[in-house]
Structure 1
Amino acid sequence: MSNKFTGRCECGALTYEFSNAPEFIANCYCKDCQRSSGGVMASYFSVAQDDFKLLSGKPRSYPYVADSGNTLERNFCPDCGARVFTDKLSGFPGQVFVMLGSLDDPESVKPPLMEIFTARRISWTAALDVPQYPARPDADPQSTVGRMPGGCG
């Protein structure tokens, strides 16, 4: 039997779970992620859409077209306003990108594998000891590592 990973928004109105440990985890410094997270970067991971289950609440979504030209929807709690996940990414069908800080136990997943759009990193933030990409890295079509969600950049 697999472990269940669980998470929620700040107030607990939106809760979710998934079973498979995420393989793609990144810190993104693009302006879209800075603005939508309210921080210097966003930390997120990818989960297969059919593994991601919303257990409670109904998110409010914000659909838009990213600088990349891809469409997506960022999903927030309508009560506390916390951003929890992004879905309906035209560049990554079948994937949900979940905010790392929304996990009940963020230590239960491995640390970020890369940092992207580091050219937009705020000068006083330190780099992790992982691959650094000043923009969107080139993707190996056979791998999800190195493939960026459509909402970045």
Structure 2
Amino acid sequence: MMSKIRGRCLCGQVSYHSDEEPAVQIMCHCPDCQKQTGTAFSVNVLVPTKSIIFEGEARRQYVVLGDTGKPVVRNFCGNCGSPLSTEMEGFGNLAAVKAATLDDDSWVKPEIQIFSDTAKHYCTPNDELKKWPRNPAF
């Protein structure tokens, strides 16, 4: 059994934790994740949004409307800019914790890829993982 999810931003001013087991682990190729991370995709561990506890005064949020028309809330550090999680009401009230911000990510192994239709040509989707052209229904 996996231990509690814990992580932090690059500068350490914002940390988080959750006692929940991940519902799923995904690799996302959506344009928003690409822009947020500054790379071709984002690896995420999804847990119930309400289970994540943030600590630190520097946490900021950026809110947009997702494909479902419901809010997508991106949590990040206002000091160093590290993306920490994305809360998605339209995704079953799950939050995508950015795997690279975990204190221990040795157990992370994405199960599926989403938004494979918008994957960058220079970083193609992993053919070993099931692909969804957009968002799957969870």
Shorter-chain TM-score bucket reads: 0.7 to 0.9
CA distance in 2 between partners of 1:50 and 1:136 (Å): 21
8 Å CA contact 2:68–2:90 kept in 1: the answer is: no
Q: Which has the higher strand share?
A: 2
Moved more, 59-68 or 76-85: 59-68
Corresponding residue for residue 72 of structure 1: 72
Pick from 119, 122, 129 the counterpart of residue 117 of structure 2. Answer: 119
User: How many residues in Structure 1 have an aligned counterpart in Structure 2?
Assistant: 137
- How much has 1:19 moved relative to structure 2? 2.0
Structure 2 unaligned segments of length 5 or more: list them.
Answer: none
- How much has 1:41 moved relative to structure 2? 0.9
Structure 1 unaligned segments of length 5 or more: list them.
Answer: 140-146, 148-153
SS in 2 for 1:3: coil
Moved more, 52-61 or 36-45: 52-61
SS in 1 for 2:26: strand
Per-residue CA deviation, residues 65-114 of structure 1 (Å, 9 max, x unaligned), is 12432212111101101111122x331464322111110111133x1111
- How much has 1:4 moved relative to structure 2? 2.2
Corresponding residue for residue 99 of structure 1: 98
Q: What root-mean-square deviation, in Å, do the aligned CA atoms of Structure 1 and Structure 2 show? A: 2.1
Judged with a 3 Å threshold, the aligned counterparts in structure 2 of structure 1 residues 92 and 58 are, in CA distance, closer, same or farther, namely: farther
Name the % identity.
Answer: 29
